[in-house]
Structure 1
Amino acid sequence: MPSPAFRLFNVMLSSGQSPDLILCNVLIDCLSKAGRCQDAIQVFLSLSERNLKPDSYTFASLLSTICRSKMFYLLPKLVLVSRHVDADLVFCNALLSSLTKADLPSLAVGFYDHMIDEGFVPDKYTFAGLLSALCCAGRVDKAVNVYHGVVMSYHDIDAHIHTVIIVGLLKTGKFHKAVSVLRFAVMNKYPLDTVAYTVGICALLRGRRTQEACTLYDQMKNDGMLMVYKQNIKHQAEDNTEWNLILDTSSSEDLSDVAASVGWSLMLAM
């Protein structure tokens, strides 16, 4: 609801209130999500006029804006400007992901190594960014090894990490490796959500494993996820963090393939 938000913002300005850094950060993030990326950048540029110094959250939000608008030529400038800010894990994770989306996966892998050298403790978003970067860089064996190490060493890893590695392998055409990862996740009873199931079905169909795709579809039904998927897919795509992450790392062609895989699975299972 950007229009009511800006009416409220204008009321605030007309009453003599001045936006602080927190409000500007929220504005940058909301404008970016509303597709108004140029306006988001203008808010960032206006900070100096208000004598406000951007923090790591400002730059993390701006990274999201750059990725949504695909204005990747701004990345070097942003990194240069942000060098005086105390970077936190949120900003580093955002930069790691942005470098991969800017088709600079090798730099992303190098930046991950830099993060570790600087003493950052990686979280699930860091590992997701690293796995995407390794796959995009063509280092699929390394990506699979890192994936196995992460899921066996960290007990709080959720379904998104399985989705990321499967999507990364699918993008590089490594369908059988994607199926292998899926089998590993299912065999070890790792948590899989609707997104992980969907890309898993896609991997099986791409690998010409139709019967296994049907079996996974049946398991999805038995786990009660199919009804949630068919009824709430639009809501999930807009509001669910894991859906947004997978949408951010997939091209429209990939998403069409995923949707087609679900359709095929529905027909095959009937």
Structure 2
Amino acid sequence: MRLDTVDNLAKSPREDLVKIKGIGGKRARKFSLNSKALISENYICLGLCQFPEKRTEIFLDLEGTGEQVADEELVAMDYLIGVLTRKDGKEEYAPFIAHGLDREGEMFGQFVKWLLKQNDFIIYHWHHYERVHLERLAERYALADEIRRVILENMRDLYRDAIACFVFPTYGNGLKEVANYMGYKWKHPDVNALESIALYFQYVTDPHKNKDKMQKVIDYNEDDCRATMLAKDWLKQNSLKGYGIRQLTPLEAGKVYDYKF
């Protein structure tokens, strides 16, 4: 059978896929499941997601230029750390902003000071960008080891939960694709990571005049934080729903997917 359509891929036995050079068992399973999800336009549940019970949930998203800038003349930096906090049933968003190209350290310091005031918390984020860049900031600004541990040991990558527990009817597993499938809509569909960088550089040329530019970046960041929160709730709810389980028995709990940090 020719594998020139998603439909053909979905119908192909996995044992035929592994005969293709470069495709092993894991990749064949991934291709097969992804194609079936796309054809059905519905997710496939692979396991149960379990999240720790914490009083404070923090949904984190960073905006930066480090992985986007190709021009060596542009500054590689993180310019916004956004946090959406959910505590005692209340939600609050706060952006920490570098209001100048030389104020990244000041922004990071404000974020760390705020974070250390939180207790019994967990930080949720999507994929590795946030962890990698917080590690970079901690190194750049000589954050004490004990404080660094407080931050990094309480971070949870929801992307890892998502791909372990679900196959989505999407062509990728980025936050935009997955959260959009889950029903989240961004305020500014025209703003993306590259556009937010351009808006930030316009803002720092004249912060007073270009407040509206920065506000679009803040809106974009808050949407990413809220999409991350939606994803966490969706993963928890639908992994239980997928198995028809409301309250896990001890035996079921032992089979729950819960990766170690």
- What TM-score comes out, normalization by structure 1 length? 0.24
| Greater RCO, 1 or 2 (C-alpha within 8 Å, sep 6+) | 2
Q: Which has the higher helix share?
A: 1
Q: Which has the higher strand share?
A: 2
- What TM-score comes out, normalization by structure 2 length? 0.25
